[in-house]
Amino acid sequence: MKRLLITGGSGDLGRELCRQASAKGYEVTATYLTRPQRLRAGTPLQLDLNDPEAVKAAIDQVQPHAIIHTAVPPMNAPNLRAQIVASAYHLRTFCPRETKLVFLSTDMIFDGTQPPYADDAPPSPLSAYGQAKAEMELMADHVVRTSLIYDFERGNKQTDWMLEKISRGETLRLYEDEFRSAIWVVNLAEAILELIENPFFQGTLNVAAPSAVSRLALGTKLLEALGIVGANVEAVSSALTGRPANLTLDVSKAQLLLRTPLLSLEEAFARWREYTTERQ
């Protein structure tokens, strides 16, 4: 039985990875910092990735065949960039040579002016988060670069912020001119678990939806999945926000490498509806 160490096991992607990996027969250790109640599967391990001695002890204890690093501090965390870089550095430092170390990166390393972005496109980050992830990419031999990670159910970032505003009777303002290669968390986890077993996976690989959608289109589809009608939704422009306008990722290389199909928003929605119908 192969051992996996998954950092950020309480996060949206981490908990889905733990669920799928455990179902596949992996011996999973799921790290968390403050939210053990969100873990779905695996052996819980509280770990501060900014503590080098704790990171070394965890790796020595688990002796993983592969490490999947999904953990990230909250976007409002103090010293966000330093925390992200330090966590990656500690994992890279103490990861045994024979252990595959996979870092999760983001389309936010780009400024959104020259899409679609290839796997080897030079970074041009506009934020501390994007800068930190760009630095992190340089530390690993295996990087999965992705986009917005969503689910069609409650309990993830892309739905919960909207539900909170709706509960307060506020208007949902969704960008109609900001485009991302948003990917369903289930689909992304499937692809990553395939990649850790693929000997041809090297360097940085864009793993996201094959077609980009606006934040407005994504939010509207998620509300439909949640059965929410009549929400006060306003289409707005991101032009004056300084946000990247178009972060479309070129996933053609990943599509050649993967057996797992990368799903568009509509394809993911159809598969999710089929799955939920089967469970009823």
What's the confidence (pLDDT) of residue 278? Answer: 62
Q: Using an 8 Å Cβ cutoff, are 191 and 234 in contact?
A: no
Percent of the chain with pLDDT over 70: 99
pLDDT at 280 (0 to 100)? 53
Phi, psi of 180, rounded to the nearest 5 degrees: -135, 155
- Is residue 73 reached through a cis peptide bond, with omega within 30 degrees of 0 on the bond before it? no
Q: How many CB atoms lie within 10 A of CB 40?
A: 16
Average pLDDT over residues 157-169: 93
pLDDT category of residue 229 using cuts at 50, 70 and 90: confident
Reference 141, options 102, 176, 106, 115; nearest CA is 102
Full-model pTM = 0.94
Query: 143 with 204: CB under 8 angstroms?
Result: yes
Q: What is the CA 229 to chain-centroid distance, rounded?
A: 28
Token pair 């539900």: residue: 163
Q: How confident is the model at residue 279 (pLDDT cuts 50, 70, 90)?
A: low
Please give the average per-residue pLDDT across 187-213, as a whole number: 97
- Orientation of helix 128-137 relative to helix 80-94, angle to 10°: 10
Distances (CA, A) of 275 to 152, 259, 280: 12, 20, 9
Q: List pLDDT tens digits, range 50-101.
A: 999 999 999 999 999 999 999 998 888 888 999 999 999 999 999 999 999 9
Strand ranges inside 8-53, DSSP E: 27-32, 43-46
* Structure tokens belonging to residue 130: 């994007």
